[in-house]
Amino acid sequence: MTQNSELKPVPSELRMLLYSFFVLYSLLAEGPLSGYEIAQLIKERSYGYFKATFGNVYPNLHELKERGDVIASEPTGGREKVIYTITDQGKGVLRAQALEQRKKVERILKLIDEVIVLTEAD
Alpha carbon distances (Å) from 86 to 4, 64, 74: 38, 9, 15
The distance of Cα 98 from the centroid of its chain, to the nearest Å, equals 10
Neighbouring CB atoms inside 10 A of 3's CB total: 4
pLDDT for res 2: 46
Cβ 22 vs Cβ 45: under 8 Å: yes
pTM: 0.77
The pLDDT tens digits of the residues spanning 20-55 come to 999 999 999 999 999 999 999 998 888 878 788 878
Instruction: Give the domain extent around 16.
Output: 12-118
pLDDT tens-place string over residues 67-81: 999 999 988 777 778
Beta bridge partners, 33, equal 84
Q: Would residue 5 count as lying in a domain?
A: no
Of the two residues 55 and 64, the one the predictor is more confident about is 64
The predicted structure's pLDDT at residue 9? 55
Kindly state whether residue 1 falls inside one of the protein's structural domains.
no
The Cα–Cα gap between 84 and 61 comes to 8
- Report how many domains make up the chain: 1
What's the pLDDT at 97?
Answer: 92
